[in-house]
Structure 1
Amino acid sequence: MHGPGDLDVLVPTKDRPASLAVTLAGLAAQDARGFRVVISDQSSVPVTGDPLVASAVRILEHRGHPVSLLRHVPARGLAEQRQFLLEQAERRWCLYLDDDVWLEPCAVSVLVSALGELGCGFVGYGLHGLSHRHDRRPHELSPYEEWARQVWPERVRRDSPAWRRHTLHNAANPLHLAEKVGISAAWRAYKVAWIGGCVLYDRALLEGCGGFEFWRSVPAAHAGEDVVAQLRVMERHGGAGLLPSRAYHLELPTTVMDRAAECYDYVMEPS
């Protein structure tokens, strides 16, 4: 039986100290205890000097969560930063959590419970963008399909029908999905194209699929590194989204201004 003590939370950050502090405060408020937090800081001004971040780190440590705040420069792109974090991980599971995401207090315990029960490669939450909570997009919810009892491996590519599932996580769609299907249990697993911002992996399975080692094969300015990693894991071990989502996007401007190079185009083999 495994629990939060078997978890490393991996947080990449760059030039968002206030947002990072909110993210860490959300982690500190989790009802799950004993997980470890590893932060990779590529900010122009190190976040160690920010009083809000320092306070959040102290609270985490006070509540029993070891924190490693690592300076990792120069920046070589998102995939390299994620690979660096993966190389720091020591525990069975690793949760990649972006520095602009706030979690409900039960979010980590639900993720860990679901991955333990499903036994697949990853589970995650699509992020709520609550500024869109009144923006209903029923046409974007149509690809929704639940996993019945077990999550199976899937091959998902751009030209496959499964690719259309990416719309499930636009705007406030996770909120509206949960309202539409109704949730009578702690979680429901559903089929995804990929998930951004909050994904819990079985670390050995992620590493067995190459992790983010492909960073050497893509331009330093790139996007979509999480898409490639998840497609690879999903093809061999399966992956699932969870409803209701317990993760909220802080909706800050992106720090990735140049998105011309998608990792998919450099790494994924043709269908």
Structure 2
Amino acid sequence: MSVDVLVPTRNRPVELGVTLAGLAAQDGPIRRVVVSDQSDDRPSFDTAPARAMARQLGRRGVEVEFVRHLPRRGLSEHRDFLLGLATASHVLFLDDDVWLEPGTLSRLWAAMSELRCGFVGSAMQGLSFLDDHRPGELKPYEEWAGGVEPEVIGPEQERRWTLHNAANLVHLAEKLGIGAGQWRPYKVAWIAGCVLFDRQKLAQCGGFDFWRELPAEHAGEDVAAQWRVMAKHGGAGVLPSGAVHMESETTVPKRDVQAVDVVR
């Protein structure tokens, strides 16, 4: 079993270099990293730092592939394209503005190997909020006990989204006293930024094939795909997270159309 890491990127040369640096420091069964670029001008991967990290990954036997994918047809189509390039048993969709602390991928892989659900993920955390404690937003926290089960996400389950605000998971992991090498699976509404899928289960649920139903300007494609997978195979967040959001300005300013409102 192995992992293909899939990174969609656009207009983020600095952030992409940091993302690749995080990947280069990971242990775990990475077989290949595919970066697909839709930048307006020069590709985000056309930098010395990106090339240096690609070489470092190559030294470890990880194949790195940089591709351009144009014209832009929306976030869902871009993810669908990347999924079509994957051949490993599992795929890690990693956003181009997320840095993974060492050990994150190994933790996700351990969780997936034990839970064998549709996906597990590390929700990205904004470390500028380390001093912003929000105990009220942690109330929906509930761990999976005895394995992950399929579930349909409704209004009650959607309330879990507050868990992933600010630096909430950092504070929660500290509060629970999770030790080195330990992890806990918990129930989620969805996970943004870093999600490890069982590729076959994601494909069985249609992947991101709903892109044709959406206008090019949309958001929430990750939510729509995850809800499909959760309904059949279940999904879980993994604590501690280890995924750090760079908190850069969004490259998707228009969010009027949410994928779940169209394709669910």
TM range, smaller chain: over 0.9
SS in 2 for 1:123: strand
SS in 2 for 1:36: strand
Quick check: 2:6–2:91 contact (8 Å CA) kept in 1? yes
- Percent sequence identity over aligned pairs: 57
Q: Does 1:76 align with 2:65?
A: no
Q: Does 1:240 align with 2:236?
A: yes
Letter in 2 for 1:11: V
Match of 1:250 in 2: 246
- Displacement of 1:33: 5.1
CA distance 1:192–1:70, shift in 2 (3 Å): same
Moved over 6 A (4+): none
Match of 1:39 among 35, 43, 52: 35
Quick check: 1:79–1:214 contact (8 Å CA) kept in 2? yes
1:45-64 matches, cutoff 5 A? 45-64=42-61
Q: Does 1:136 align with 2:130?
A: no
Deviations 1:82-120 (A, max 9, x none): 000000000100000000111111111111111011010
Match of 1:163 in 2: 158
Mean alpha-carbon deviation: is it higher for 58-67 or for 83-92? 58-67
Letter in 2 for 1:161: E
Quick check: 2:3–2:29 contact (8 Å CA) kept in 1? no
- d(CA) in 2 for partners of 1:142 and 1:177? 10
Question: What is the TM-score when the length of structure 1 is the normalising length?
Answer: 0.94
1:145-164 matches, cutoff 5 A? 145-157=142-154, 160-164=155-159
CA RMSD, Structure 1 to Structure 2 (Å): 1.1
Unaligned residue ranges in structure 2 (runs of 5+) = none
The alignment covers a number of residue pairs equal to: 262
Question: What is the TM-score when the length of structure 2 is the normalising length?
Answer: 0.97
Quick check: 1:33–1:64 contact (8 Å CA) kept in 2? no
SS in 1 for 2:185: strand
Unaligned residue ranges in structure 1 (runs of 5+) = none
CA distance 1:198–1:34, shift in 2 (3 Å): closer
Deviations 1:164-215 (A, max 9, x none): 0011001101111112222145210000000000000000000000000001
Quick check: 2:97–2:246 contact (8 Å CA) kept in 1? yes
1:185-204 matches, cutoff 5 A? 186-204=182-200
